[in-house]
Amino acid sequence: MTIPPLAWLDSWVQHNEADLIAIRRHLHAHPEVARAEHETTAFLERRLSAAGLPAKPLPGGTGLTCDIGQGPRTIALRADLDALPLPDTKMVPYRSTVPGVSHACGHDAHTAILLGVALALATGPALPGRIRCIFQPAEEAIPGGALDAIEGGALEGVDQIFALHCDPHLSLGRVGLRPGAITAACDLVEVRVSGPGGHTARPHLTVDLVYALGRIITEVPGLLSRAVDPRAALSLVWGAVEAGVAPNAIPQTGVLRGTVRMLDRSTWDTAESLVRRLVGQVGGPTGARVVVHYSRGVAPVVNDPGSVGLQRKGVSTALGAEAIADTGQSLGGEDFGWYLNQVPGALARLGVYSGEGPTLDLHRGNFDIDERALAIGVRTMVHTAYAALRAR
């Protein structure tokens, strides 16, 4: 069934694009980190209330949900609110006013788009069902604010859920779709080693902790790659190592910190025990006392193929079939996977690259978007929601 064009939506976007940009710039200039999004939540509540849309705050005090319409099916659309503890290095009028905090991952754009969706739907005809807008806190925290939203009832009665994420490597006007795993599980691992310490002239009389750390750093990732199916894309990368202060003294303590990532859900369920075992096997023979602290992070985002099909219909109707792009898998973490453990759905990537100058990667202080992507995001999400509401 071909979804009829939504002429009212095109008219709304045309008349409100400047407001979408102003909303995004306001959010960009006033970023808040995970679980501190109080002003952002209040701003959203004011805008929704002014449009006659009731908002339900989440129990944690940040984030909210908003239901529009009623009917036999409920489709959820999700945006994340939080910023990163990174300084904004851009010289733009809407630069962050909060020292050391910036929207360097596009969450301001996600929030502006979903608020635009809600405001547009408030002016449109009666929906063929219910759309729930989930404005979620703390996506950048581990294990993620999606769990807070779910615990607060955000998925009650929901049949499917969809989200967009800015992609600075995808051109404006394109939307990247992918069935199956699109982002990875992400866990944190910390390895602490200890020993009596000693002089570097006499390593045979003590435990050489730096040598122990070196073995764990180099050998455990390689052993992991041989212990699981390569298609799981399991990756252990160390990001920090600390040991000693003097070149002629063997330290008494040392620590490693890194992330463990994988695309396969079943591998994620066994990763912790595997990492613990291999670290022990490698570090134990050195004589060091080895303690592993392992924190499970976010689940992999595994897009439901049927939901991706509905996204495809929505994008084709909103923008034309030529707007659909294939998109690769990423080992980056995204807590949208927690929703997909409960209900079917899909995450798509929204092109925000203008085509001019270098691409500006996520999680960098100079990240920015082509703001024409906001209107494209609104049209994409509304058409996808309509496609899902009309699905049988």
Confidence class for position 352, pLDDT limits 50, 70, 90:
very high
pLDDT (tens digit, 9 = 90+) per residue, 294-339?
Answer: 999 999 999 999 999 999 999 999 999 999 999 999 999 999 999 9
Contact 378, 109 (CB under 8 A): no
Q: Where in the chain is the domain with CATH 3.30.70.360?
A: 185-298
pLDDT tops 60 at residue 106: yes
Q: What's the confidence (pLDDT) of residue 360?
A: 86
Name the token pair of 193: 């080693």
Q: What's the confidence (pLDDT) of residue 4?
A: 52
pLDDT tops 50 at residue 387: yes
pLDDT tops 90 at residue 200: yes
Sign (positive or negative) of CA dihedral 95, 96, 102, 105: negative
Contact 199, 248 (CB under 8 A): yes
Mean pLDDT over each residue of the chain, to the nearest integer: 96
Name the token pair of 68: 């529009």
Confidence class for position 194, pLDDT limits 50, 70, 90:
very high
Chain centre distance of CA 150: 16
Give CA–CA dist 164/311, Å, rounded: 10
Minimum mean pLDDT among 98-102, 177-181, 354-358: which range?
354-358
- CATH code that applies to domain 7-182+300-389: 3.40.630.10
pLDDT tops 80 at residue 2: no
Q: Classify residue 235 by its DSSP letter.
A: E
CB count in 10 Å sphere of residue 70: 10
pLDDT (tens digit, 9 = 90+) per residue, 215-256?
Answer: 999 999 999 999 999 999 999 999 999 999 999 999 999 999
What percentage of the chain reaches a pLDDT higher than 70?
98
pTM value?
A: 0.94
Q: Where in the chain is the domain with CATH 3.40.630.10?
A: 7-182+300-389
Distances (CA, A) of 105 to 28, 121, 137, 196, 291: 11, 26, 14, 44, 34
- Mean pLDDT, to the nearest integer, of 25-36? 98
Residue 296 phi, psi dihedral angles, 5° rounding:
-70, 135
pLDDT tops 70 at residue 382: yes
- C-alpha atoms less than 13 angstroms from C-alpha of 250 in its C-beta half-sphere: 22
Contact 156, 65 (CB under 8 A): no
Q: What's the confidence (pLDDT) of residue 5?
A: 63
What CATH topology corresponds to 185-298?
Answer: Alpha-Beta Plaits (3.30.70)
Contacts of 17 (CB under 8 A, 6+ apart): 374, 375
Name the token pair of 28: 């960009």
Contacts of 185 (CB under 8 A, 6+ apart): 261, 262, 263, 265, 268, 271, 297, 298, 299, 300, 333, 337
Q: What's the confidence (pLDDT) of residue 3?
A: 45
